[in-house]
């Protein structure tokens, strides 16, 4: 009798454990060093991004930074999978110069990670600065430490 009870509880425990593993949500590090592989070498110092602080202390919603567009509208909601920005913004940086193709800001952002990330990070900081609200860095060297 005792033995069968033990077997039963072990079986029950494994079910609970398996369930926890299967439903475990995707984790984000509290602080991230941004280092996309789209740049074989980084010209600038690596940027430290306080992911948790942005969400918890500065009260910025996940969907201000994470999205998945369907027919021009973001359908991403909290709990959905998060992919790295460069999975979709797949090119490093728009070419410059006289013979570079003329792209709109929107086209640049969609294609180039460099444009997408600066528009998101520096764009928000600049907007908040204009509104005279607490904000983050807006100059190159405040985000990119000296190398």
- CA dist., res. 78 & res. 146, Å (int): 35
Q: Does 112 bind ligand HEC (CB under 6 A)?
A: no
- Which residue in 9, 58, 75, 95 binds ligand HEC (CB under 6 A)? 58
Please give the radius of gyration of the chain, using alpha carbons only, rounded to the nearest integer. Answer: 22
Nearer to ligand HEC, 12 or 141 (CB): 141
Q: Could you say which residues in the range 18-57 bind ligand HEC, by CB under 6 A?
A: 26, 28, 32, 34-36, 39, 42-44, 47, 49-51, 53-55
Tokens found for residue 14? 């494994």
* Angle at the Cα of 80 from the Cα atoms of 136 and 72, rounded to 5 degrees: 75
As a whole number of angstroms, the distance between CA 1 and CA 23 comes to 34
CA–CA separation, 125 and 92 (whole Å):
22
Q: Which residue is nearest to ligand HEC (CB)?
A: 136
Contact between 35 and 47 under an 8 Å Cβ cutoff? The reply is no
Q: Which CB, 13 or 32, lies closer to ligand HEC?
A: 32
Determine, following the binding rule CB under 6 A, whether residue 126 of this chain makes contact with ligand HEC.
no
Q: Is 118 in the site for ligand HEC (CB under 6 A)?
A: yes
The whole-angstrom separation of Cα 54 and Cα 29 is 12
Residues that bind ligand HEC (CB under 6 A): 26, 28, 32, 34-36, 39, 42-44, 47, 49-51, 53-55, 58, 60, 62, 64-69, 72, 78, 82-89, 106, 109-110, 114, 116-122, 124-125, 128, 134-140, 143-144
């Amino acid at each position: 009798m005792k033995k069968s009870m033990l077997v039963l509880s072990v079986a029950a425990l494994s079910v609970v454990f398996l369930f926890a593993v299967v439903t475990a949500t995707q984790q984000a590090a509290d602080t991230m060093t941004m280092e996309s592989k789209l740049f074989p070498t980084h010209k600038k110092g690596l940027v430290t991004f306080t992911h948790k602080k942005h969400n918890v202390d500065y009260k910025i919603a996940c969907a201000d930074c994470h999205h998945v567009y369907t027919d021009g509208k973001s359908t991403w909601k909290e709990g959905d999978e998060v992919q790295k920005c460069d999975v979709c913004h797949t090119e490093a940086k728009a070419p410059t110069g006289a013979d570079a193709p003329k792209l709109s800001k929107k086209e640049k952002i969609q294609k180039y990670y460099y444009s997408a990330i600066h528009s998101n990070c520096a764009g928000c900081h600049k907007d908040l600065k204009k509104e005279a609200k607490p904000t983050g860095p807006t100059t190159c060297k405040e985000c990119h430490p000296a190398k």
